[in-house]
Amino acid sequence: MNVRVVDYHAPDAAEQFTRSLHETGFGVLVNHPIPQSLVEKIYADWLAFFNSQAKYDYAFSMERQDGWFSPEVSETAKGATLKDIKEYFHIYPWGRVPPQLKADTDRYYAIANQLAQELLSWVQQYTPAHIAAHYTEPLSHMIADSQKTLLRVLRYPPLTGQEPAGSLRAAAHGDINLLTILPAANEPGLQVQDKQGEWLDVPCDFGTLVVNIGDMLQEASAGYYPSTQHRVVNPSGEGASKNRISLPLFLHPRPEVVLSERYTADSYLNERLRELGVKM
């Protein structure tokens, strides 16, 4: 499997990018519109927040699914038995954000969401007609005005050596949503599983943007766009003493959007949240 690295400004960018999504479930963009300086500032400022006592004022809400998720309530990936080694903060358009972090976070959310709508229009454009017939509305419309699109600020803390045997920063999983937009993290570790079951490193050079298919788009496209399993492995050596900050934007349709004969966006999301153990 070869995850294509595509120049956003190339004449054939849409075709090359969507081909990578179809073949691998992943695509990597360079020269994209998200400012690297903004991403780096967000990484630094949110790391300071995670290292402060202020996070305890934003403990997550089971009903709203927003706020700070401590390592103790962090996800257990579907099919896994051990919790991931991470903490994170969930940000929705209507949700809580520490005041000192809100301006940059809102700016990033807006820029990434706008890019995401364009990428979904690329996906729509290069979906074969017999597959596109399954879409109940244009893909970019599914996320328009959605209050469910989620920005997650993740911190994978330095390893202590006391972690449970076999636990990972993020165990193998597929994302729930349509597309995930992910600027390169400040440390490597992201891997994707190919069709032969081998784990491959995803390019993580600063300035690259990783985009992957989520389960909802796999459902809506009758499997044409595969939601590929991915994970974040534990570093060794010097890397084990470093924080890893990650900033995925999970594109969620409006709840009433019909994905397939089996699911609406809302019914699919609630099923998966129960499987993850973060919703009753």
Under a CB-based contact definition with an 8 Å cutoff, are residues 37 and 222 in contact?
no
Q: How confident is the model at residue 63 (pLDDT cuts 50, 70, 90)?
A: confident
Give 260-268's long-range contacts (Cβ < 8 A, gap of 24+): 260/134, 260/219, 260/220, 260/222, 262/219, 263/219, 265/142, 265/148, 265/216, 268/176, 268/215, 268/216, 268/219
H or E, element range at 30: strand 26-30
CA distance 130 to 33: 32
For the stretch 107-143, pLDDT in tens is 999 999 999 999 999 999 999 999 999 999 999 999 9
Q: Quick check: 78 pLDDT over 80?
A: no
The residue whose two tokens read 């499987």 is 275
Q: Quick check: 1 pLDDT over 60?
A: no
CA distance 94 to 107: 14
pLDDT for the residue 189: 83
Average pLDDT over all residues of the chain: 90
Give 129-134's long-range contacts (Cβ < 8 A, gap of 24+): 131/221, 131/222, 131/224, 134/220, 134/221, 134/222, 134/260
Which one has a higher pLDDT value, 162 or 143?
143
For the stretch 6-59, pLDDT in tens is 999 999 999 999 999 999 899 999 999 999 999 999 999 999 999 999 999 999
pLDDT for the residue 172: 84
* 3 state SS of 60: coil
Token pair of 151, please?
């920005």
Q: How confident is the model at residue 176 (pLDDT cuts 50, 70, 90)?
A: very high
Mean pLDDT along residues 238-259:
92
Mean pLDDT along residues 145-165:
90
Counting residues of the chain whose pLDDT is more than 70, the rounded percentage is 97
Under a CB-based contact definition with an 8 Å cutoff, are residues 214 and 176 in contact?
yes
CA distance 179 to 156: 22
Q: How confident is the model at residue 274 (pLDDT cuts 50, 70, 90)?
A: confident
The pTM score is: 0.92
